[in-house]
Structure 1
Amino acid sequence: MWSKANLVGGHLALDFLNTVGDTGKTRDTNHLASPRDFVSWIDFCGLRAAISMDPAPTQEVITDLVRFRETAYRAVVSIFDETAHQSRDSRRYENYLKRAVQRATFDTRAKPLAWRATKEPDHHILDSFVLLLDDLLRSADVVRIRQCERCSWLFLNSGRGHGRRWCNMATCGNRHKVEAHRERSRTTES
Structure 2
Amino acid sequence: MASTQTKWVEEHFIGGHPALDLANAVFNRRVPGPDNELLKSARDVGNWFKASGLAGARKAEAVAGIGGEPFVERIHAIREASARIFGSIAAKEPPATEALGFLFECAASGLSGGAVGLNGTRPDLALARWRDPEAVTALLAMLSIEGYFTLPRERLHSCPRCGWLFLDTSRGGKRRWCSMRTCGNREKVSRHREHE
Work out whether residues 30 and 161 of structure 2, in 8 Å CA contact, stay in contact via their aligned partners in 1: yes
Q: d(CA) in 1 for partners of 2:44 and 2:117?
A: 30
Query: Shift of the alpha carbon at 1:138?
Result: 0.9
Which position in structure 2 is the counterpart of 1:165? Answer: 176
- What is the aligned counterpart of 1:44 among 46, 51, 65? 51
Query: Shift of the alpha carbon at 1:71?
Result: 2.5
1:63 aligns with 2:70: no
The number of aligned residues is: 178
The change in CA–CA distance for 1:115 and 1:54 in structure 2 (over 3 A counts) is closer
TM-superposition CA deviations, 1:140-177 (whole Å, max 9, x none): 43432111121121111012344111111111000111
1:130-141 superposed matches below 5 A = 130-141=141-152
1:69-108 superposed matches below 5 A = 69-82=79-92, 84-87=93-96, 90-104=97-111, 107=118
Identity %: 27
Q: Normalized against structure 1, the TM-score is what?
A: 0.79
Query: Shift of the alpha carbon at 1:38?
Result: 1.3
Q: Normalized against structure 2, the TM-score is what?
A: 0.77
Q: d(CA) in 2 for partners of 1:96 and 1:51?
A: 22
Aligned to 2:49, the other structure's residue is in SS state helix
Q: d(CA) in 2 for partners of 1:54 and 1:48?
A: 10
The change in CA–CA distance for 1:51 and 1:146 in structure 2 (over 3 A counts) is farther
Work out whether residues 157 and 164 of structure 1, in 8 Å CA contact, stay in contact via their aligned partners in 2: yes
1:182 aligns with 2:189: no
Which position in structure 2 is the counterpart of 1:25? Answer: 30
Amino acid at match of 1:95: F
* Displaced runs of 4 or more, over 6 A: none
Amino acid at match of 1:56: G
Amino acid at match of 1:60: P
Unaligned stretches of 5+ residues in structure 1: 186-190
Query: Shift of the alpha carbon at 1:95?
Result: 2.6
Unaligned stretches of 5+ residues in structure 2: 1-6
Query: Shift of the alpha carbon at 1:70?
Result: 1.5
Q: d(CA) in 1 for partners of 2:63 and 2:171?
A: 43
